[in-house]
Amino acid sequence: MSTILIVDDEQSMRDFLSIMLKKEGYDVVAAETGQDALKAVQTEIFDLVISDVKMPGMDGIDVLKTVKEVSPETVVIMITAYATAETAVEAMKRGAYDYITKPFKVDEIKLIIQKALEKRHLRKENILLKREMESRQGFESFIGNSQAMQKVFLLIRQVANTNSTVLISGESGTGKELVARAIHYNSSRKDRPFVTVNCGALPETLLESELFGYMKGAFTGAISNKQGLFEAAGNGTIFLDEISATTPALQIKLLRVLQEREFMRVGGTTDIKVDARVLAASNRDLLAEVAKGTFREDLYYRLNVIPVHLPALRERKDDIPLLVDFFLSKFNGLKKQKKFDPETLRFFMGYDWPGNVRELENAIERMVILAIGDTITPEHIPDGMKNFKASSAIISTDIPDEGLDLEGLLGTAERSLLQKALEKTGGVKTEAAKLLGLSFRSFRHRLQKYESSS
């Protein structure tokens, strides 16, 4: 429901517009003076402001200027009984959507309001679409005939058209965001926004303001009111990726969203209702995090209404030939078709894929680009994959009769483990250090040693 602020010193006009717009299904707030309007826009974000131009004290042009400073996305329509060309030009320069002269026809102003709100809605949709396109990563589709993946597909079909919260688990690179997208686009909400948030990519204060929005002056840099992603999702779907990275303080606020279906903007004073469906994902064992005290138990059970677990690629190796064909087709494009020789495919089937399908996709893209001939052979396999497999095999066996290069072996193993930890935590170095029992400083030092030598 769109929210409209009416600003006019004449009560008859305020009452007329309020009654008319409420009948049209809008949420309406009325202000008698420019000062009252200023207070309103500082505590609420309006989709549309309709303001008289000529008012005592703070006039309509000042209201327009203030609204555009505090809430730039709000659309403003000016109305006046004393129209002049100069005032109309100034209003349009200041960012007014339209300038209407009294008396006006009811159907005329209804149409103008409808088109103004459609413009705002379209602008919001474009922002969300751009965000969604930027967030797309890795492979586009689910591929898999294995029994494990068939169970995932069945579960998606069963839960898609419900409003239940879903918790998606699985290692980094297994396709958790794909599950979330599949649930959304197979639901009744498919034509509404799908908003993704990587909770591990932002510090706590920034993540809170991104999720819930903020009011002007709430913190340094908050120069205008801003809607959060929960509001942007509307009655669509919001996907909270890597939710295990959230702090206890933020977890309390997320719990309130799930329990009460409402939240408050940073620096705000009014509660805002939430209708978006919540999907969440984690590459860490949230029950283990609950046991350690780093994740709230009550939030875990609120999220885990319907659990969906994605198997690691090493647990569904039967799907590798199918995935290889898919990615070869994707990266061959319009160029001469390249194919794997049997030895390369055997290597792929024997490799453990610590980075899962994302690692497989990246490896094939690189091999297609670098292979000169028609056939991709083992010589085109990235060295990091060969070294990882070699170190894994040697460490698990006795010392061979011919001896071994201990320094080289330990270096390769260390490098592989550092890379695997980063892949497992989605590139979050502090979390990767914890996985290996290292301080952040030690982890960074070890990583820099190999980055400088590569």
Say if residue 305 is in the same domain as residue 434: no
Residues 373-409: b if buried by 16+ CB within 10 A, e if exposed: eeebeeebbeebbebbbebeebeeeeeeeeeeeeeee
End residue of a domain, out of 130, 161, 181: 130
CATH number of 203's domain: 3.40.50.300
Say if residue 170 is in the same domain as residue 302: yes
Say if residue 327 is in the same domain as residue 307: no
Ranges under pLDDT 50 in the chain: 133-140, 334, 394, 454
Domain count, the chain: 3
Please report, for the chain, how many H helices and E strands are present, in that order. Answer: 19, 16
End residue of a domain, out of 311, 328, 362: 311
Host H or E run for residue 189 = none
pLDDT of residue 442: 85
d(CA 29, CA 185): 35
User: Could you list the residue range(s) of the whole structural domain that residue 278 is in?
Assistant: 136-311
Say if residue 156 is in the same domain as residue 304: yes
Q: Return the closest-CA partner of residue 415 out of 441, 435, 385, 437.
A: 385
**Going by C-beta distance under 8 Å and a sequence separation of 6 or more, which residues neighbour residue 62?**
34
The CA-atom distances, in angstroms, between 361 and each of 7, 357, 422 are 57, 6, 17
End residue of a domain, out of 109, 130, 151: 130
CATH number of 96's domain: 3.40.50.2300
Say if residue 240 is in the same domain as residue 377: no
Say if residue 346 is in the same domain as residue 435: yes
Say if residue 190 is in the same domain as residue 228: yes
pLDDT of residue 335: 53
Say if residue 286 is in the same domain as residue 342: no
Say if residue 283 is in the same domain as residue 416: no
Give 44-104 as a 3 state SS string.
CCCCEEEEECCCCCCCHHHHHHHHHHHCCCCEEEEEECCCCHHHHHHHHHCCCCEEEECCC
Contact 264, 246 (CB under 8 A): no
Say if residue 7 is in the same domain as residue 81: yes
Angle at 414 between CA 409 and CA 415, to 5 degrees: 100
Say if residue 158 is in the same domain as residue 307: yes
The CA-atom distances, in angstroms, between 137 and each of 130, 177, 360, 362 are 13, 9, 13, 11
pLDDT of residue 334: 46
Say if residue 143 is in the same domain as residue 121: no
Q: Helix crossing, 342-350 with 320-332: angle to 10°?
A: 120
Token pair 């686009």: residue:
185
